[in-house]
A and B are shown apart, each in its own frame.
Chain A
Amino acid sequence: MTNQPLSSSNPRVDLEYRRKKNAEEMRHQVISFSIMIFLTFIAFAAVAAKGFTAWFIIPFILLLAVVQVIFQLFYFMHMSHEGHEAPSMFLFTGVFMAFVIVLTFMTIIWW
């Protein structure tokens, strides 16, 4: 229950490293943001184009949504960082439940 050490033996080096790491991370986040925007446009374009069948578009835009959400979770919400074991376990259990509920509502409420 104690705090993480605030600094290592050489505080300056440590700080420098941290700042770099944060900046690096931020760069990743900007990149993932661009990708998200890009995916969004593709999804909208796919629908706007009107040329494709629904059988293609629906799975396709759903896939794009899933990818986008993964970016959100892992980059914006840092779910890959350590210390997120319990959060990700519970979140994914929630996602699993979500999947089951949506699946049943689409199959056995049928008229």
Chain B
Amino acid sequence: MSTYAQKKGFGGTIWDYLTTVDHKKIAILYLMAGGLFFLVGGMEAVFIRIQLAVPNNDFVSAGTFNEIITMHGTTMIFLAAMPLLFAFMNAVMPLQIGARDVAFPFLNALGFWLFFFGGVFLNLSWFLGGAPDAGWTSYASLAVHSKGHGVDFYVLGLQISGLGTLIGGINFLATVITMRAPGMTYMRMPLFTWTTFVASAMILFAFPPLTVGLTLMMFDRLFGANFFEVAMGGNTIIWEHLFWVFGHPEVYILILPAFGIFSEIFSTFSRKRLFGYSSMVFATVLIGFLGFMVWAHHMFTTGLGPVANAIFAVATMAIGIPTGIKIFNWLFTMWGGSVKFTTPMYYAFGFIPSFVCGGVTGVMVATAAADYQYHDTYFVVAHFHYVIVGGVVLALLAGTHYWWPKMFGTMLNETLGKITFWLFFIGFHLTFFIQHFLGVWGMPRRVFTYLPGQGFDTSNMVSSIGAGFMSAGVIVLLLNVVITQVKNVKVGNDPWEDGRTLEWAISSPPPYYNFKQLPLVRGLDAYWIEKMEGKKAMTPAEPVGDIHMPNSSFIPFMITLGLFIAAFGALYHADDKSWALPVLIIGLLVTFGSMLVRSVKDDHGYHIHKEELMDEEKGAEA
């Protein structure tokens, strides 16, 4: 079963991606799907801003507007930001720890397909009678009473894609724990690997409450249960808790890997090791832990009482401390360094002031008594876009430029990259800075319009213009991608020339089996150490030998397809459609049948033989 160096037709390539279990290809799938959803979510954002540009606008109707914001938030968080981070985790993390692959290649593929089909399912709601319209938080009283199937799409779609995320998280955890190359101790792991690890652990503990919440809501809406039906003894606050027990850790699941990306970029382009590495690791773990203890700060105005509010307020503020440690460590990584302003470094540089602004407004909203004013206003919208766009999205853009050569073997154009940066960065501040003021001037969030004469008009217009700049930036980025891929100028192992971590010690893109021989890691920044000693490559930790590889499989796709079908059955079951129950059953049969096939059919993988590896090397040299 030797699969390399075969020329494939278009159909072959598609089939290859449908069945792949290779973490690098799955990374590309995540990048494409996540990128697509980012464009969708971004378009929705643009629609929001068009509608709000002037008072009493009727660009979209009130109901549609609620669908748009709900889908914008949901899409961006679940279907764009997380998958894009997963793309980099998949592409880079196994390389950074010197592994051949992730711990569970099969589950890796399954996780991707679950996410993707869940996202497709959710977005199909636009064409099947209306999208969810109760906000991305889908608070129970409104969500349970929302008409049509929108919220059902939300509940089922997130259920499916959440399962994929959970599987992905477990996979990364196991990978980091068992698959590290010889010498790669925990305290030698690059920061991006560390943040992946901690974020994955958070996924493991944060997603189950979401699953439960979604299940309860599904039972209420589709099967007549009464969890949130007050008249029947139900209680809507349960949903709020379950959602935020998940929802707050979720935002740190987003930001920690982003921190990881920037940590790599800062030290690479400063040509310095990360300042205070061990305190960075400590801060990461601490943020992860504290992240679970603060969720009720989203519920200050729910009426939990002063004791709960005070405790959660103080706990929330505490997160500022480890985050501050990180900020200063980054600054002092550059201090005394030799800072090269590449495109990724532009983003990293722009990130610092942007994120600090967002973080400190986070602490401001954490002051419970004052949050009674901020809550559910544009101040909060400004806060979280400052941390999310100024943190996570800038990191995603930075990572895209930084690791593009590693993933695709060719460099994105630097000039276009910088143009993208300026457009996006200016647009970002233009859009969201002014929203702080809108909030405290009395503009609630999630309003489809506002009346003139309240002092909101000019500021909203400014904000909308900013969104235009951001769109232009994104379009330049798309152009850049197209131009780069058409030109396709190949690059070597270490195109930035300052690479420090193991992924730069291997060709771009790496061979499908990654390291021919597992590398021997002698310290933090393993590749840099070797480079400083004048070596060109890593010292191998083992002789050349057979490499065990997993087989490709179509089963992940099938398992997911079954759930996708079943979800339609469950959804229309509530309408008393006669075909709904059979569809539900057929879908589940496909899923469980495929799982059965998987467990009954042995899959031992295959071996790349030593000789083949040698031949390939010769071929490469010739």
Contact = CB atoms under 8 A, between A and B. Distances in A.
**Is A in direct contact with B (CB under 8 Å) within the complex?**
yes
Interface in A73-98: 86, 90, 93-94, 97
A37 to B, nearest CB: 31
B205 A97 contact: yes
A4 to B, nearest CB: 14
B286 to A, nearest CB: 14
Nearest to B174: A86
Contact of A108 (B173, B209, B308): B308
Contacts of A86: 177
Contacts of A108: 241, 296, 304-305, 308
A10 interface: no
Nearest to B249: A97
Contacts of B177: 86
Contacts of B292: 97, 100
B238 A105 contact: yes
A104 interface: yes
B308 A93 contact: no
B547 interface: no
Interface in B289-323: 292-293, 296, 304-305, 308
Contacts of B308: 107-108
Interface residues of B, number: 17
A104 B201 contact: no
Contacts, number: 31
A105 B241 contact: yes
A93 B205 contact: yes
A93 B245 CA distance: 15
- Would you call the interface of chain B mostly helix, strand, loop, or mixed? helix
- Would you call the interface of chain A mostly helix, strand, loop, or mixed? helix
Contacts of B237: 109
B20 to A, nearest CB: 24
Given A100-B292, A108-B305, A109-B235, A93 B241 contact: no
B305 A93 contact: no
A104 B293 contact: no
Contacts of A104: 241, 296
B214 to A, nearest CB: 16
B204 A90 contact: yes
B305 A101 contact: no
Given A90-B201, A108-B296, A108-B305, A101 B209 contact: yes
B245 A101 contact: yes
A62 B34 CA distance: 46
Interface in A27-63: none
Given A105-B238, A109-B235, A109-B238, A94 B296 contact: no
Interface in B200-232: 201, 204-205, 209
Contacts of A109: 235, 237-238, 241
Contacts of A111: 235
B344 to A, nearest CB: 33
Contacts of B204: 90, 94
A74 B173 CA distance: 23
B235 A94 contact: no
A94 B205 contact: yes
B62 to A, nearest CB: 32
B520 to A, nearest CB: 14
Nearest to B302: A108
A61 to B, nearest CB: 25
B250 to A, nearest CB: 14
A111 to B, nearest CB: 8
A93 B238 contact: no
B201 A93 contact: yes
B81 to A, nearest CB: 23
Nearest to A97: B205
A86 B175 CA distance: 12
A105 B212 CA distance: 14
Q: Most chain-A Cβ atoms within 10 A of its Cβ — which of B238, B293, B296, B304?
A: B304
A60 B177 CA distance: 39
Contacts of A105: 238, 241
A110 B308 CA distance: 12
A108 B312 CA distance: 12
A94 B177 CA distance: 18
Contacts of B304: 108
A9 to B, nearest CB: 25
The 5 A-B residue pairs with the shortest CB-CB distance in the complex, in nearest-first order? A108-B304, A108-B308, A109-B237, A97-B205, A86-B177
Interface of B: 173, 177, 201, 204-205, 209, 235, 237-238, 241, 245, 292-293, 296, 304-305, 308
Given A94-B204, A97-B292, 11 more contacts: A86-B177, A90-B173, A93-B201, A100-B293, A105-B238, A107-B308, A108-B241, A108-B296, A108-B305, A109-B241, A111-B235
